[in-house]
Amino acid sequence: MLTQDKQQRNWKPIIKQFEAVLGKNGVVQRREELITYECDGLTSYRQRPAVVVLPRTTEQVAQVVKICDRYSIPFIARGSGTGLSGGALPIEDCVLIVTSLMRQILSVDLENQRVVVQPGVINNWVTQTVCGAGFYYAPDPSSQIICSIGGNVAENSGGVHCLKYGVTTNHVLGLKIVTPDGSIVDIGGQIPEMPGYDLTGIFVGSEGTLGIATEITLRILKSAESICVLLADFTTVEAAAESVSDIISAGIIPGGMEMMDNISINAVEDVVATNCYPRDATAILLVEIDGLEVEVTANKQRVAEICLKNGARNITSASDLETRLKLWKGRKAAFAAAGNLSPDYYVQDGVIPRTQLPYVLQEIEALSQKFGYQIANVFHAGDGNLHPLILFDNSVEGALEKVEEVGGEILKLCVRVGGSISGEHGIGADKKCYMPDMFSEIDLETMQWVRQVFNPQGLANPGKIFPTPRTCGEAASASKQQFEGVERF
Amino acid sequence: MLTQDKQQRNWKPIIKQFEAVLGKNGVVQRREELITYECDGLTSYRQRPAVVVLPRTTEQVAQVVKICDRYSIPFIARGSGTGLSGGALPIEDCVLIVTSLMRQILSVDLENQRVVVQPGVINNWVTQTVCGAGFYYAPDPSSQIICSIGGNVAENSGGVHCLKYGVTTNHVLGLKIVTPDGSIVDIGGQIPEMPGYDLTGIFVGSEGTLGIATEITLRILKSAESICVLLADFTTVEAAAESVSDIISAGIIPGGMEMMDNISINAVEDVVATNCYPRDATAILLVEIDGLEVEVTANKQRVAEICLKNGARNITSASDLETRLKLWKGRKAAFAAAGNLSPDYYVQDGVIPRTQLPYVLQEIEALSQKFGYQIANVFHAGDGNLHPLILFDNSVEGALEKVEEVGGEILKLCVRVGGSISGEHGIGADKKCYMPDMFSEIDLETMQWVRQVFNPQGLANPGKIFPTPRTCGEAASASKQQFEGVERF
Q: What is the 3-state secondary structure (H, E, C) of B198-223?
A: CHHHHHCCCCCCCCEEEEEEEECEEC
Task: Check if the beta carbon of residue B376 is closer than 8 Å to that of residue B338.
Answer: yes
Task: Kindly report, residue by residue over A42-57, the tens digit of the pLDDT.
Answer: 888 899 999 999 999 9
Task: Check if the beta carbon of residue B185 is closer than 8 Å to that of residue B157.
Answer: no
Which of B155, B437, B447, B487 to probe by mutation at the A interface, max A CB count within 10 Å? B487
Within an 8 Å CB–CB cutoff, is residue A395 touching chain B? no
DSSP secondary structure string for all residues of A367-404? HHHHHT--EEEEEETTTTEEEEEEEE-TTSTTHHHHHH
Helices (H), B109-255: 123-130, 149-155, 162-165, 199-203, 237-249
The gap between the terminal CA atoms of chain A, to the nearest Å, is 43
- Helices A11-22 and A58-71: angle between axes, nearest 10 degrees: 170
Distance from CA of A163 to the nearest CA of B (A): 10
Nearest-CA neighbor of B87 among B461, B373, B442, B468? Answer: B461
Within an 8 Å CB–CB cutoff, is residue A419 touching chain B? yes
Within an 8 Å CB–CB cutoff, is residue B189 touching chain A? yes
Q: Identity (one letter) of the amino acid at B167?
A: V
- What pLDDT, on a 0 to 100 scale, did the predictor assign at position B332? 85
- What pLDDT, on a 0 to 100 scale, did the predictor assign at position A98? 98
| Helices then strands, each counted (H, E), chain A | 18, 19
SS3 assignment, position A351: strand
* Chain A environment of B154 (Cβ under 8 Å): none
Evaluated on CA atoms B320, B321, B322, B325, the torsion sign reads positive
Considering CB atoms only, which of B195, B297, B483 is closest to A420? B195
pLDDT at B412 over 80: yes
Average pLDDT rounded to a whole number, residues B178-199: 88
Task: Kindly report, residue by residue over A61-85, the tens digit of the pLDDT.
Answer: 999 999 999 999 999 999 999 999 9
Task: Order the strands of the A212-219 sheet from edge to edge.
Answer: A105-109, A114-117, A212-219, A172-178, A184-188
Q: Among the ranges A39-48, B86-95, B185-194, B248-257, which has the highest mean pLDDT value?
A: B86-95
Considering CB atoms only, which of B91, B183, B292 is closest to A489? B91
* Chain A environment of B486 (Cβ under 8 Å): 456-458, 472, 475-476
Within an 8 Å CB–CB cutoff, is residue B13 touching chain A? no
pLDDT at A2 over 60: no
* Chain A environment of B480 (Cβ under 8 Å): 479-480, 483
Percent of all residues in chain B with a pLDDT value above 70, rounded to a whole number = 94
Spatial neighbors of A327 by CB under 8 A, at least 6 apart, are: A229, A231, A274, A276, A286, A316, A318
- Is B193 within 8 Å of A167 when comparing Cβ atoms? yes
Within an 8 Å CB–CB cutoff, is residue A1 touching chain B? no
pLDDT at A245 over 50: yes
- What pLDDT, on a 0 to 100 scale, did the predictor assign at position A190? 77
Average pLDDT rounded to a whole number, residues A437-454: 90
How far, CA to CA in Å, does A3 sit from each of A69, A428, A458? Answer: 18, 22, 15
The gap between the terminal CA atoms of chain B, to the nearest Å, is 43
- Is A199 within 8 Å of B471 when comparing Cβ atoms? no
d(CA A163, CA A383): 6
pLDDT tier, B7 (very low <50, low <70, confident <90, very high otherwise): low
Spatial neighbors of A16 by CB under 8 A, at least 6 apart, are: none
pLDDT at B161 over 90: no
d(CA A169, CA A192): 11
Considering CB atoms only, which of B204, B383, B420 is closest to A194? B420
pLDDT at A112 over 90: no
Task: Check if the beta carbon of residue A203 is closer than 8 Å to that of residue A216.
Answer: no
Considering CB atoms only, which of A427, A440, A451 is closest to B186? A440
* Chain A environment of B246 (Cβ under 8 Å): none
pLDDT tier, A486 (very low <50, low <70, confident <90, very high otherwise): very low
- Is B190 within 8 Å of A224 when comparing Cβ atoms? no
Mean pLDDT, chain B, as a whole number? 90
Within an 8 Å CB–CB cutoff, is residue B339 touching chain A? no
Average pLDDT rounded to a whole number, residues B150-167: 93
pLDDT tier, A468 (very low <50, low <70, confident <90, very high otherwise): low
- Is A225 within 8 Å of B251 when comparing Cβ atoms? yes
* Across A247-261, A331-345, B374-388, least confident range: A331-345
pLDDT tier, A7 (very low <50, low <70, confident <90, very high otherwise): low
pLDDT at B471 over 90: no
Task: Check if the beta carbon of residue A316 is closer than 8 Å to that of residue A230.
Answer: yes
Q: Which helix (H) or strand (E) holds A299?
A: helix A293-309
d(CA B325, CA B333): 12
Within an 8 Å CB–CB cutoff, is residue A475 touching chain B? yes
Spatial neighbors of B285 by CB under 8 A, at least 6 apart, are: B230, B231, B232, B233, B234, B240, B243, B244, B257, B258, B259, B307, B312, B381
- What pLDDT, on a 0 to 100 scale, did the predictor assign at position B44? 80
How far, CA to CA in Å, does A85 sit from each of A39, A201, A342, A347, B260? Answer: 10, 20, 21, 10, 51
pLDDT at B18 over 70: yes
Nearest-CA neighbor of A28 among A47, A15, A12? Answer: A15
pLDDT at B333 over 90: no
Within an 8 Å CB–CB cutoff, is residue B358 touching chain A? no
pLDDT at A484 over 50: no
* Chain B environment of A202 (Cβ under 8 Å): 197-199, 201-202, 450
Spatial neighbors of B194 by CB under 8 A, at least 6 apart, are: A420, B174, B188, B200
Nearest-CA neighbor of A95 among A60, A119, A57, A43? Answer: A60
Task: Kindly report, residue by residue over A170-208, the tens digit of the pLDDT.
Answer: 999 999 999 999 999 999 887 777 888 999 999 999 999
Considering CB atoms only, which of B2, B225, B426 is closest to A487? B2
Q: Identity (one letter) of the amino acid at B77?
A: A
d(CA B212, CA B60): 12
Task: Kindly report, residue by residue over A343-370, the tens digit of the pLDDT.
Answer: 988 899 999 988 898 899 999 999 999 9
d(CA A63, CA A175): 18
d(CA B202, CA A378): 33
Q: What is the CA radius of gyration of chain B?
A: 23
Within an 8 Å CB–CB cutoff, is residue A23 touching chain B? no
d(CA B42, CA A349): 47
Distance from CA of B185 to the nearest CA of A (A): 6
Query: What is the DSSP-derived secondary structure letter of residue A122?
Result: B
Nearest CA in chain B to A221: B251
Angle at B388 between CA B386 and CA B394, to 5 degrees: 150
- Is A479 within 8 Å of B484 when comparing Cβ atoms? no
Task: Check if the beta carbon of residue A12 is closer than 8 Å to that of residue A57.
Answer: no
Distance from CA of A276 to the nearest CA of B (A): 30
Distance from CA of B3 to the nearest CA of A (A): 9
Task: Kindly report, residue by residue over A271-304, the tens digit of the pLDDT.
Answer: 999 899 999 999 999 999 999 999 999 999 999 9
Within an 8 Å CB–CB cutoff, is residue A204 touching chain B? yes
DSSP secondary structure string for all residues of A33-53? HHGGGS--S-TT-----SEEE
d(CA B166, CA B155): 14
* Chain B environment of A92 (Cβ under 8 Å): none
- What pLDDT, on a 0 to 100 scale, did the predictor assign at position A339? 83
- What pLDDT, on a 0 to 100 scale, did the predictor assign at position B160? 87
pLDDT tier, B475 (very low <50, low <70, confident <90, very high otherwise): very low
Task: Check if the beta carbon of residue A358 is closer than 8 Å to that of residue A237.
Answer: yes
pLDDT tier, A474 (very low <50, low <70, confident <90, very high otherwise): very low
pLDDT tier, B111 (very low <50, low <70, confident <90, very high otherwise): confident
What is the complex's ipTM, to 2 decimals?
Answer: 0.82
Nearest-CA neighbor of A249 among B388, B72, B157, B135? Answer: B135
- Is B74 within 8 Å of A489 when comparing Cβ atoms? yes
- Is B457 within 8 Å of A487 when comparing Cβ atoms? yes
Within an 8 Å CB–CB cutoff, is residue B275 touching chain A? no
Nearest CA in chain B to A461: B489
| Helices then strands, each counted (H, E), chain B | 18, 19
Average pLDDT rounded to a whole number, residues B274-289: 95
Mean pLDDT, chain A, as a whole number? 90
* Chain A environment of B245 (Cβ under 8 Å): 111
Distance from CA of A419 to the nearest CA of B (A): 7
Bridge-based pairing of strands A344-347 and B172-178 is unpaired
Average pLDDT rounded to a whole number, residues B414-434: 92
Cβ contacts below 8 Å, chain A against chain B, sum to 288
All domains in chain A, ordered by first residue:
11-98 (3.30.43.10), 105-222 (3.30.465.10), 226-416 (3.40.462.10)
Average pLDDT rounded to a whole number, residues B2-25: 84
Average pLDDT rounded to a whole number, residues B221-225: 92
Q: Identity (one letter) of the amino acid at A205?
A: G
d(CA A11, CA A93): 10
- What pLDDT, on a 0 to 100 scale, did the predictor assign at position A365? 94
